[in-house]
Amino acid sequence: MAFSQDKLLIFVLLIFCATTSLSARPRNRQYTPPSVPHLTDLFPHVSISNGFSNIFGAKNFQLTGNGSMATLALDKSSGKYRSGLASKNEYYYGFFSAAIKLPSGLSPGVVAAFYLSNANVYPHNHDEIDIELLGHDKRNDWAFQTNIYANGSVSTGREEKFYLWFDPTAEHHQYSILWNNHHIVFMVDNIPVREYQRNSAYPSVFPSKPMSVYATIWDGSEWATHGGKYPVNYKYAPFVVSFADVEMSGCVVSNPTGTCSKTSPSNLDPVEGQEFATLSKEQARALDWARSKLMFYSYCKDVSRFKVLPPECK
């Protein structure tokens, strides 16, 4: 039986509403993560007031909890629309972690980041290991992006993106990076979501120079949400991110020659300890779970961007 125009219009509207409702649902609340060892329990917390120095957006930076927690705000008064902290030390390998609570409400274009970089020292061939949390519009969740640069510029990044299985604005969650001579592992609440292994066949693509640790919030309107489709709307500002439970255990570079000394009071060594050279069986299973359930972008599958895929993708 043919539809009348009125019935057809109603039918189309119902389909549109159902599709909109489904796309607006949180994509990250339906999974229970597997059990894994808690690496964040193995290393000591570092006081933010002792481990970091304020580098920009001073008016939008506040310390609380006797220096154990910091809030950073993004608004139009932020220098270049960003605020952040840099570690007092440079590190060559180690375990780096922070408990982060993200801004609530609409946050397209907002980027909260916890990362390592030496771009200030090597502006044209820098290394970088990024955790970036990308703000959302009203129909999507925050995205968790990882990225790696080695001896390169921003055009050589190796991005992978994931959805989260929790609301990152409700409370603090742990975001961690393990970096040593064997691999780089990105973790969320101790669940490995990405492992980037060092390969002797192409060592130049593995970060190999000392880096500082950064905690920032900034305006990523040009690219962060749907490729820049949704810029930051400052009528919702300030956007406030909270950092706590910071851990930085590894080799601290103490002289111009690049040699480093271990300063962590932990009896475990994330740099040379064999227990950190490979993933455990539980971690490997959790990694497979995260990548099958949560990953929605990998540079290794982006054939429109790379005419020849990077060597580690083959």
255 — pLDDT class (breaks 50, 70, 90)? low
Question: Which residue type is seen at 41?
Answer: D
Q: What are phi and psi of 141, to 5 degrees?
A: -90, 170
Q: Please confirm whether the linkage preceding 123 is cis (ω < 30° from 0).
A: no
For 38-58, how does the pLDDT look when each residue is reduced to its tens digit (9 = 90+)?
999 999 999 999 999 877 888
286 contacts: CB under 8 Å, gap ≥ 6: 33, 34, 36, 191, 192
Give the mean model confidence (pLDDT) for residues 29-38: 88
Give the mean model confidence (pLDDT) for residues 183-199: 97
User: Which residues are catalytic, by number?
Assistant: 128, 132
Q: What are the angstrom distances between the C-alpha of 125 and each of 122, 145, 152, 156?
A: 5, 22, 4, 10
Class of domain 38-313: mainly beta
Q: What is the pTM of this model?
A: 0.88
Of the spans 26-40, 186-200, 245-259, which averages the highest pLDDT?
Answer: 186-200
* Of residues 77 and 290, more confidently modeled: 290
For 273-288, how does the pLDDT look when each residue is reduced to its tens digit (9 = 90+)?
899 999 999 999 999 9
3-state secondary structure of 263: coil
Residue ranges covered by each domain of the chain: 38-313
| Largest distance between two CA atoms of the chain | 82
DSSP string across 213-250:
EEEEEEE-TTTTTGGGTS---GGGPPEEEEEEEEEEEE
